Amino acid sequence: MNWNIACIQMDIAFGKPETNYTAAEQLIEQAVQSKPDVLVLPELWTTGYDLTRLEEIADVEAKETISFLQKIAKKHHVHLVGGSIAQKTKDGIYNTMLMINNKGEFIKDYDKLHLFQLMDEHHFLQPGERDGLFTFDDKLCAGFICYDIRFPEWLRAHTTKGAEVLFVSAEWPKPRLDHWRALLISRAIENQAYVVAVNRTGSDPNNVFAGHSLIIDPWGEIINEAGEGVEILTGTIDFTKVHEVRNKIPVFADRRPEFY
Ligand SMILES: NC(=O)CCC(=O)C(=O)O
């Protein structure tokens, strides 16, 4: 089985959800022209890092975003890794990734596990406590959010359970572009999995963001890489490649977890 992927590398208006819904919808309408099976959005794409105003602008129980994504998924018969949004719950605000299948069914939400202190997340957000595993078309995938990629053990915990595609939504600043690329390529090689990583572009009052969304195969080869600007990045995932690479170098069978 193959999947055509489309990554929505967008700019994000700081603290303006309505502007961002409109911008995302326009880009998605362009992206669906190539008939993707899966569409992916970046981190905190409705609000950006306007953390001091989250109490006011976060989506309560993610209701508005889920309904926005469900409408798109059904209209275009496309699976959505709906990036992440600031979700307001009774326990606090979370940085939450939303997965909707191509029938418009809500499949999974994943709250960012590792909060990034350098961008003050720990002062405004609650850390997640659940895994990022989910299934589209019977294929086991996993979702991660930005800083999570610095924790190889977290991604490995998902591939040892069988995940074959690792989706990453990010707002990764430009000064650490080299880390972004190196970490993502490493996560693909060590997990022998596809990595589909969507970063935002543009800037906010505190950071300039790197763009350079990436689709990487299980051998660590880059299938496609975006530039710095607004872009729809596409690429095809061939699931047989996961099994070819895992059979060639049987990393999972050769692990010695009793010594780790
Ligand atoms: N939004 C984030 O989690 C950014 C992570 C980051 O920039 C890093 O260097 O790690």
Tokens describing residue 62: 């993610």
Q: Is 257 left (phi over 0), alpha (psi -120 to 50) or beta?
A: alpha
pLDDT at 60: 98
**Annotated catalytic residue within 88, 108, 112, 139:** 112
Residue whose Cα lies nearest atom 1 of ligand 1: it is 171
Rounded alpha-carbon distances, angstroms, from residue 35 to 31, 76, 92, 223, 237: 8, 8, 37, 18, 14
Residue whose Cα lies nearest atom 7 of ligand 1: it is 172
Tokens describing residue 120: 């003050």
What is d(CA 128, CA 218) in angstroms, rounded to the nearest whole number?
Answer: 27
Answer for the pair 129, 110: CB distance below 8 angstroms, yes or no.
no
Cβ of residue 211 lying under 6 Å from some atom of ligand 1: no
What integer is the mean pLDDT of 173-194?
98
Quick one: angle between helices 63-76 and 17-31, nearest 10?
Answer: 20
Q: What ipTM is given for this predicted complex?
A: 0.99
Choose which residue among 110, 117, 176, 180 to substitute to test ligand 1 binding: the one with the highest number of ligand atoms within 8 A of its C-beta: 176
pLDDT at 18: 98
Task: Give DSSP secondary structure letters for 170-205.
Answer: E--BGGGHHHHHHHHHHHHHHHTSEEEEEE-BSB-S
Q: Is 7 a catalytic residue?
A: no
Strand partners, 5: 38, 235
pLDDT tens figures, 232-255: 999 999 999 999 999 999 999 999
Cβ of residue 179 lying under 6 Å from some atom of ligand 1: yes
Cβ of residue 173 lying under 6 Å from some atom of ligand 1: yes
What integer is the mean pLDDT of 149-168?
98
Q: In one letter, which amino acid is 91?
A: D
Q: What percent of the chain has pLDDT over 90?
A: 100
Q: Is 43 a catalytic residue?
A: yes
pLDDT tens figures, 187-243: 999 999 999 999 999 999 999 999 999 999 999 999 999 999 999 999 999 999 999
Q: Which domains does the chain have, with CATH numbers?
A: 2-259 (3.60.110.10)
List, in order, residues 6 or more apart from 134 with CB less than 8 Å away: 99, 107, 108, 110, 140, 141, 142, 143
What is d(CA 45, CA 63) in angstroms, rounded to the nearest whole number?
Answer: 15
**Annotated catalytic residue within 7, 43, 88, 171:** 43
Distance 256 CA to ligand 1 centre (A): 31
Helix and strand totals (H; E) in the chain: 8, 13
Distance 138 CA to ligand 1 centre (A): 31
